Amino acid sequence: MSNASTPRPPAADRRPTDADQAALDQALAGLPIRRDLLIEHLHRLQDLFGGLRPGPLAALARRHNLPQAEIYEIASFYAHFEILDENAPDPRPLARICDGPICQMRGADDLIGRLEKTHRLRRVPCVGRCADAPAWLAVPQPPTPIAASRLAFPADDPLRVLDELEQSGLRGMGGAGFPTARKWRLVREQPKPRTLVVNADEGEPGTFKDRHLLIHHLPRVIAGIAIAARAIEAEAVYVYLRDEYADLIPALESAFAALPDGTPPIHLRRGAGAYVCGEETALLESLEGKRGLPRQRPPYAAEAGLFGRPTLINNVETLAWVPTILAMGGKEFAAQGRHGAAGLRLYSLSGRVRNPGIKEAPNGITTRELIEEFGGGMEAGHDLTAFLPGGASGGLLPARLADVPLTFGTLEPHGAFTGSGAVMVFSKADDLRQLALGLMGFFAHESCGQCTPCRMGCGRALDLMATPRWNRPALESLAAVMRDASICGLGQAAPNVFLSLLRHFPELVG
């Protein structure tokens, strides 16, 4: 994981000048000096000065009583922090442009050619606007208003809530699909104080449902947060929002401020461009003001999570379904599923379909049904050849498997998974080998580097995949090591990229 610009940690700690201290004070504008606010301090400096300069960084290190090298280590972990040297910065405005598979398909390279004349461009893996591909963001982003609507504040009995959730069959929509009621019960069994963490990092390329919910269904999300906080008797709530959604911060802050007395305090924190921080323990580290390095488990977050306290971590969509389930009844919600799966879910549909976008559909719908019933069919002139059922990590499947239900457990026998429900659709106009190389490049870039099988394995896989005829035994043994010995899901799932090509598209790889 590295920053776009080259960080230059000072050889010896530099003495901050009065001007450096004043610049820091101006940026922080009264924000307290606490370790867990360190990422926000870096954001404030960057927001004000267009990047991180050695002087104010030295002042920040002194204020935190940390070595400057540690401040550089943290800042350079996050791709969105621009570490500058003493020279005058490039005056052009900063822009982030997605060069992920769907934006590439829709002409990202042409857009890059046009934008680089006027902007300092950063190529990034996904900006969470896949239905509008090719997508890019001006930085800082102007705020996006969210229409104010009345919030419903439920006063449900926590035990009834848990029963309804149990019956609804709701499972985590962040990717891992852990049964939600069971997770809530596990946290409730732990001693107080307990914390709720809302995962709004939405980093899986091709996933843009959480943004949709925050903009179009914020009252549902907030009601879900309030119900979860009450059910586990949380004393604090932390919402970790991906930096690409910083345009939503003003609207979210005012919605949180309107919560009634008795709701635990809600702290809104932004990420800084690290995909791995969506992984729940990396997210906790980031919330604590550190690099987002996933933790070894046990202990699990339910026992020792944020600041060592029992912590419930849920995805935005998971929480948004909770008020719907209580209104509809758990059994009725479960009955909305298809092909044996329970409930509803949001699929992020993109690629070669007529109407890409967020589709609220029965959980367990097949890819073919999703495309036909919700996506308006394939784009004119394109036939389905392949699809990614679960974003970058969920494996690549051929059209002949488009009738397999898109839910937890059904795709695994085919070497794939549904994850966060990001379905990306391809036709023969798309180069699948190139797609696979791009996905593996993404994992190599986003690996936090903490464990050798993932750090070395992603790079080694890229080398092996660059050869005209892939070395199947070498790739298969590499996959076994990565799956068995990686600390987190990033390194464990990354081999899906090449394994799925070896299994389903052998003709493409020699």
**Contact yes or no for 393/204 (Cβ under 8 A):** yes
Least Å distance, CB 294 to ligand FMN, is 7
- Residue 78, φ and ψ in degrees, nearest 5: -95, 120
By a kind-dependent CB cut-off of 5 to 8 A, residue 404 interacts, out of ligand SF4, ligand FMN, none, with: none
Least Å distance, CB 276 to ligand FMN, is 5
By a kind-dependent CB cut-off of 5 to 8 A, residue 199 interacts, out of ligand FMN, ligand SF4, none, with: ligand FMN
Least Å distance, CB 393 to ligand SF4, is 11
Query: Does residue 490 touch ligand SF4 according to CB under 6 A?
Result: yes
Maximum alpha-carbon separation in the chain: 67
With CB under 6 A as the contact rule, the residue among 100, 294, 391, 394 that binds ligand SF4 is 294
For residue 375, the 8-state DSSP code is: S
Least Å distance, CB 247 to ligand FMN, is 18
Least Å distance, CB 292 to ligand FMN, is 10
Q: How far is CA 220 from CA 153, 250, 327, in A?
A: 10, 18, 11
Determine the Cα–Cα distance for residues 173 and 187; give it in Å rounded to an integer.
18
Instruction: Give ∠ CA 49-34-273 in degrees, rounded to 5.
Output: 50
Least Å distance, CB 382 to ligand SF4, is 34
With CB under 6 A as the contact rule, the residue among 315, 366, 410, 447 that binds ligand FMN is 315
- Report which residue's Cβ sits closest to ligand SF4: 491
Spatial strand order in the sheet of 194-200: 266-270, 234-241, 194-200, 311-315
With CB under 6 A as the contact rule, the residue among 104, 195, 286, 314 that binds ligand FMN is 314
Query: Does residue 202 touch ligand FMN according to CB under 6 A?
Result: yes
| Sole window of 201-209, 330-338, 364-372, 409-417 interacting with ligand FMN (rule: CB under 6 A) | 201-209
CB atoms within 10 A of CB 484: 9
Residue of 332, 317, 331, 400 whose CA lies nearest to 366? 400
Nearer to ligand SF4, 206 or 491 (CB): 491
Query: Does residue 486 touch ligand SF4 according to CB under 6 A?
Result: yes
Query: Does residue 276 touch ligand FMN according to CB under 6 A?
Result: yes
Determine the Cα–Cα distance for residues 338 and 102; give it in Å rounded to an integer.
28
**Contact yes or no for 198/239 (Cβ under 8 A):** yes
Instruction: Give ∠ CA 447-453-457 in degrees, rounded to 5.
Output: 70
By a kind-dependent CB cut-off of 5 to 8 A, residue 168 interacts, out of ligand SF4, ligand FMN, none, with: none
| Sole window of 390-398, 408-416, 461-469, 484-492 interacting with ligand SF4 (rule: CB under 6 A) | 484-492
Determine the Cα–Cα distance for residues 394 and 205; give it in Å rounded to an integer.
11
**Contact yes or no for 133/103 (Cβ under 8 A):** yes
Least Å distance, CB 377 to ligand FMN, is 30
Least Å distance, CB 47 to ligand SF4, is 28
Express the helix, strand and coil content of the chain in percent, nearest 5 each.
45, 15, 40
DSSP output for 261-289: TTSPPEEEEE--S-GGGGSHHHHHHHHTT
By a kind-dependent CB cut-off of 5 to 8 A, residue 318 interacts, out of ligand FMN, ligand SF4, none, with: ligand FMN
Nearer to ligand FMN, 102 or 173 (CB): 173
Determine the Cα–Cα distance for residues 475 and 461; give it in Å rounded to an integer.
7
Residue of 422, 417, 415 whose CA lies nearest to 479? 415
Footprint (CB under 6 A) of ligand SF4, residues 424-483: 447-451, 454-455
By a kind-dependent CB cut-off of 5 to 8 A, residue 336 interacts, out of ligand SF4, ligand FMN, none, with: none
Q: By rule CB under 6 A, what count of residues binds ligand SF4?
A: 14
Determine the Cα–Cα distance for residues 422 and 221; give it in Å rounded to an integer.
20
Q: By rule CB under 6 A, what count of residues binds ligand FMN?
A: 22
With CB under 6 A as the contact rule, the residue among 280, 285, 369, 430 that binds ligand FMN is 280
3-class SS of residue 128: coil
DSSP output for 8-21: ---SSPPPPPHHHH
Query: Does residue 491 touch ligand SF4 according to CB under 6 A?
Result: yes
Nearer to ligand FMN, 313 or 451 (CB): 313
Least Å distance, CB 423 to ligand FMN, is 16
| Sole window of 66-74, 82-90, 433-441, 486-494 interacting with ligand FMN (rule: CB under 6 A) | 486-494
Footprint (CB under 6 A) of ligand FMN, residues 163-192: 172-176, 178
3-class SS of residue 448: coil
Determine the Cα–Cα distance for residues 339 and 363; give it in Å rounded to an integer.
9
| Sole window of 69-77, 124-132, 193-201, 487-495 interacting with ligand SF4 (rule: CB under 6 A) | 487-495
Determine the Cα–Cα distance for residues 317 and 132; give it in Å rounded to an integer.
21
Residues in contact with ligand SF4 by the rule CB under 6 A? 276, 294, 447-451, 454-455, 486-488, 490-491
Residues in contact with ligand FMN by the rule CB under 6 A? 172-176, 178, 199, 201-204, 276, 278-280, 313-315, 318, 488-490
